Amino acid sequence: MQILWLRNDLRLHDHPGFYLARAKNEPLSIIYIMPKEWLDIDAQGMTRLGAAKARFLRSSLIDLHRTLDEHTFDLTILFGDPVELLQKIYLEQAFTLITASAQAPEEAGWLARIAELGIQIECYEPYTLFSPAQMTDFLSHWPTTFSQFRRTIEKHPQQFKVAEDIKALPLKLRDTVLPIWAPAQWPEEHSDTGIQLKRNGGERSGKQHLKDYLWENKSIQHYKATRNALIGDYFSSQLSPYLAWGCLSPRHIWHQILQYEAAYQADEHSQWLKLELLWREYFHWSMRHHGDRLFQKNGLRTDTVTPKKIPEHIVQKHWQAWCAASTGIPMIDAGLVELRTTGFVSNRLRQNMASYFIHQLQLDWRWGARWFEQHLIDFDVASNWGNWAYLAGVGHDARPQRQFNINKQLQEYDPELQHIQHWLPELSQQSLDDILNHQTKTKLIPYYPSPVVATRSISITPQT
């Protein structure tokens, strides 16, 4: 008997796990386990599975269930401690576990505990462009910056292949040991009717979105020029949710871009989209290299960082303002409302939000990383924590001050207030000058929360 334990690899295309299972030609059961700790509430009042994130995961699982059903297979969905659940199954019947390699230290801990039970484990790599063996061949030592990583990788172009789609699965294991936790039984606390997902999760939705982006709308033709926008359809690829849950393989996306380039020629836009996939690759392999250091307050720094001491009542005031989307900085508050409502926010705004959180509110950067983890439908542990550590000055290429000028960013990326006024309609009658004056406390908007920490004052650029 063999069990294929899916985690962030909710697809059939380019999936090494299904090939491993088929090669063994033994009865197979396919499972997904939602870890119960995802619903635990931490000291700051956060869980790891917010409403939007849960909604996207649910639709991804429903889609996978339908796809497997077409192959006459079931998807068994379980809830609890992964190690304890697999131990219960193993006590009933021995099996070989086929599952993805560990991304984060938490997953490495699960696999170590499972191995200690005597369960045979066979791992595969579904998350990255390159395999561990290739990374060992390419890199004699771990590069400390992305630029070094990129230069090395680009010496080995297209050194990965996309596996053919599965045509036939192994023999079905007809009697599952534990009952299915059906999608209809999704926890009530995650049925928030205020959530507004732009797209459903799942492999079908992901493939259709990729087709639309590259081939139907050809939005890739303006990717580099529009990727920093804050609002609108197709200003960026928005493939990240499908990558995060493994509904799309990064290798599949890369090869689709190559096909696009073969048809329409490579340009700065297609090259930049591939560059973003390499950034993702860098963060993934970096996390595996550095382990749990990435999750410590000092991050990857070897020296000791002594943070400025902030009175506890100020810390709590700032934290509550952040959680309530009432920091008094409309650009930040609009991003928080959008994130809470849709589970998504543009990359440019994420950087501004993180900068304000770290440098103005002066809160622990790890709280911000966990806040994003709770809400983002495209939460990717390596990219999320890597980017927060980078902005906090404790990640790669560590520098003490990577701080954004919020007012300058607002003038450049939302000068007509389209994003702010969409998510904060109470400010629909305000001008850019009004918002900038409010954010700097030069002249407050009477009915809007006063900034808990004002932004830096800059000269206001006249609007033409």
Residue list, annotated binding site for FAD: 223, 236-240, 378-380
Amino acid at 104: A
C-alpha 120/C-alpha 212 separation (Å) is: 42
C-beta of residue 411 within 8 angstroms of C-beta of residue 418: no
How far is it, in rounded angstroms, from Cα 284 to Cα 381? Answer: 8
Q: How far apart are CA 146 and CA 108, in angstroms?
A: 25
Burial class of residue 371 (count of CB atoms within 10 Å of its CB; 0-12, 13-18, 19+): buried
Instruction: Tell me if 11 sits within 8 A of 103, measured CB to CB.
Output: no
Tell the residue number behind the tokens 């139907």, with chain if given: 216
How far is 19 from 187, CA to CA, in rounded Å? 33
Is there a contact between 277 and 223 (Cβ–Cβ < 8 Å)?
Answer: no
Q: How far apart are CA 78 and CA 462, in angstroms?
A: 58
Known binding-site residue numbers = 223, 236-240, 378-380
Tell the residue number behind the tokens 């005597």, with chain if given.
Answer: 118
**451 closest CA partner among 347, 281, 362, 318:** 318
- With H, G, I as helix, E, B as strand and everything else as coil, classify residue 383: helix
The tokens of 43 are what?
A: 């000291």
Alpha carbon 2 to its chain's center: 30
Residues 6+ apart with CB under 8 A from 293: 299, 300
DSSP string covering 13-58: TT-HHHHHHHHHTS-EEEEEEEEGGGG---TTS--S--HHHHHHHH
How many Cα atoms sit within 13 Å of 365 on the Cβ side?
27
DSSP 389-415: HHHHTSSTT--S-----HHHHHHHH-T
Query: Could you tell me where the DSSP H helices lie in 302-460?
Result: 312-323, 330-342, 347-355, 365-375, 381-392, 406-413, 418-423, 432-439
